Amino acid sequence: MRLLGIAGSLRQGSYNRALLRAARELLPEGVELVEHDLRELPLYDGDVEAAGDPEPVARFKDAIREADGLLIATPEYNRGIPGVLKNAIDWASRPPLASPLARKPVAIMGASTGLGGTRRAQEQLHAALEFPGALVIEEPSVLVPEAFLRFDDEGRLVDEGVGTEIGELLDTLARVADGVTLAA
């Protein structure tokens, strides 16, 4: 089984990229996690789309299609979803009736330096993903507040409780993705 990991932050040292690294170490047997960097995606523009998806967009959509499920780690910027992540979802939601997100299992997690642990960003991301028909996993939730206490200076997860939550989320995502594959 192949999962596509997406960090909603472009910063190399972000806690959300660190969450994806931690997830890679906690994957169930037989599951691999491949990360996709959103850095090259242009801003969504219907005129550009009408002329044909730019190469970075086509690669992103293909990566989603090839994955059995998505694991998204999102920060929270100004009480909401980061623009780079919303832009990626906007591209992936197209075309409306043939989006690569349709019936794709998606798990969301997030880390922030504040006390909210990305709750608002995750709610917004959930809504944005549901519109094109993604199967967003409701539980378990992984909200990591005060991320600076959960990772060491090298970006390694040191909070066992968060590791357990990530493991449970990955197990659930793998079960849902396996069920979707069997039903197809």
Whole-structure pTM value: 0.95
**What is the residue-level pLDDT of the chain in tens, covering all 184 positions?**
999 999 999 998 999 999 999 999 999 999 999 999 999 999 999 999 999 999 999 999 999 999 999 999 999 999 999 999 999 999 999 998 899 999 999 999 999 999 988 999 999 999 999 999 999 999 999 999 999 999 999 999 999 999 999 999 999 999 999 987 666 5
**CB 14: neighbour CB atoms within 10 A?**
18
**Cα distance between the two ends of the chain:** 15
In order of 11, 40, 121, the CA distances from 169 in angstroms are 24, 28, 18
- Token reading at 172: 């659930």
Phi, psi of 86 (to 5 degrees): -60, -40
